[in-house]
């Protein structure tokens, strides 16, 4: 017998993180705040000592609490931009 098809993944039109990669998040945060401010807001070594997108991704992929902080800051940044009437 064949297994029944799995249900389609529900769309998440109101989830601003849906469809956004961690790389895109880190890049946008670094562009918006700069590495220095990002390291002040989230004081982790990957943002404060020779920061790069690559080293940040490596750390964030294996450190759930840090990734949560980065995603929260990203959502905060989106709200800031929206309030200011900027793109996004």
Tell me: the pLDDT tens digits for 14-33?
888 889 999 999 999 999 99
Backbone angles phi, psi at 14, to 5 degrees: -100, 5
Mean pLDDT for 54-66 is: 96
User: What residue has token string 């945060």?
Assistant: 29
What pLDDT, on a 0 to 100 scale, did the predictor assign at position 1? 57
The residues, any chain, with a CB within 8 Å of residue 60's CB and separated by 6 or more, are 22, 26, 46, 66, 67, 70
């Amino acid at each position: 017998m064949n297994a029944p098809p799995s249900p389609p993944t529900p769309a998440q039109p109101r989830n601003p993180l849906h469809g956004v990669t961690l790389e895109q998040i880190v890049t946008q945060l670094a562009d918006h705040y700069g590495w220095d401010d990002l390291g002040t807001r989230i004081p982790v070594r990957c943002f404060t000592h020779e920061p790069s997108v690559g080293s940040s991704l490596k750390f964030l992929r294996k450190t759930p609490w840090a990734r949560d902080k980065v995603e929260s800051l990203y959502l905060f940044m989106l709200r800031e931009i929206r309030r200011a009437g900027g793109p996004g």
